[in-house]
């Protein structure tokens, strides 16, 4: 169906705190499906990070952004982009994508996200390699979200509501490091976001 190759480039001299990532996309993924894929990736990586401190930092980064953005989802989109509200982290730099390299140069890490369709529900995703450093898992989630935000206003509008639904699920139902959360939280987020936008649309 689709695959995304994320290239984690060496940090630039003088900007050691900035993670540089390029994203190369192959295949077709409908715009409405991007947030589903990202929800599953987020839940999967939180489960993989388990009790690592970066799991809490990832949630804090994204949830703070979501709280700030949730009141702006119906504002004019050009204004929101101009004000920089769609930037998830000052420590991420998305580089212009080039062709996916045949061989990974030294000092560069490549992560492949494969998306396969499923007739009975959400698509399935697979991340390879299976074993990744915690830092890579953190930036994998943030970089793919930033990539989809740049490509798709629908994703950017829906993401804050999905993140707030994740926060509620993790607070009220299952912690993010549980297998139940990895499986159920994306469905919960999708359902709650759908209810929110249907309700908001009726009220407008």
DSSP per position, 113-171: EEEE--TTSSPEEEEESS---HHHHHHHHHHHHHHHHHH-HHHHHHHHHHHHHHHHHHH
pLDDT at 113: 97
The crossing angle, in degrees rounded to 10, of helices 153-172 and 53-70 is: 120
Top-confidence range, 2-16, 68-82, 86-100, 138-152: 138-152
Where does the pLDDT of residue 104 fall: very low under 50, low under 70, confident under 90, or very high at 90 and above? low
Distance CA 160, CA 3 (A): 24
pLDDT digits (tens, 9 = 90+) for 169-190: 999 999 999 999 999 999 999 9
pLDDT at 167: 98
Per mean pLDDT, which range of 107-121, 122-136, 153-167, 168-182 is the poorest?
107-121
**Integer CA distances (angstroms), 64 to 33, 68, 106, 164, in order:** 24, 6, 35, 9
CB-based contacts of 152, cutoff 8 Å, min separation 6 = 31, 34
What is the pLDDT averaged over residues 115-133?
84
Domain ranges of the chain: 2-203
Higher pLDDT, 114 or 78: 114
Relative to beta strand 19-27, strand 92-95 is parallel
Length of the chain, in residues: 204
Share of the chain above pLDDT 70, in %: 91
pLDDT at 203: 53
What pTM does this model have? 0.90
CB-based contacts of 145, cutoff 8 Å, min separation 6 = 38, 62, 88, 159
4: tokens are 């995304």
Distance CA 110, CA 112 (A): 7
Instruction: Please say whether the beta carbons of 48 and 122 come within 8 A.
Output: no
- Is pLDDT at 33 greater than 70 in this prediction? yes
The chain-wide mean pLDDT, for the chain, equals 89
């Amino acid at each position: 169906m689709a695959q995304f190759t994320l290239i984690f480039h060496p940090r630039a001299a003088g900007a050691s705190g900035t993670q540089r990532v390029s994203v190369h996309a192959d295949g077709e993924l409908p715009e409405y499906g991007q947030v589903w894929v990202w929800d599953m990736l987020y839940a999967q990586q939180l489960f993989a990070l388990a009790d690592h401190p970066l799991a809490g930092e990832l949630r804090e980064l994204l949830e703070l952004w979501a709280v700030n953005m949730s009141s702006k989802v119906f504002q004019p989109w050009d204004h929101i982009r101009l004000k920089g509200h769609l930037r998830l982290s000052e420590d991420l730099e998305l580089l212009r994508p080039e062709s996916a390299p045949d061989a990974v140069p030294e000092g560069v890490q490549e992560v492949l996200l494969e998306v396969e369709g499923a007739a009975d529900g959400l698509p399935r995703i697979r991340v390879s390699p299976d074993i990744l450093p915690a830092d890579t898992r953190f930036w994998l989630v943030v970089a793919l979200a930033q990539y989809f935000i740049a490509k798709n206003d629908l994703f950017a509008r829906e993401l804050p509501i999905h993140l707030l639904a994740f926060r509620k699920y993790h607070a009220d139902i299952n912690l993010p490091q549980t297998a139940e959360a990895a499986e159920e939280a994306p469905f919960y987020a999708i359902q709650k976001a759908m209810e929110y936008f249907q309700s908001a649309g009726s009220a407008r």
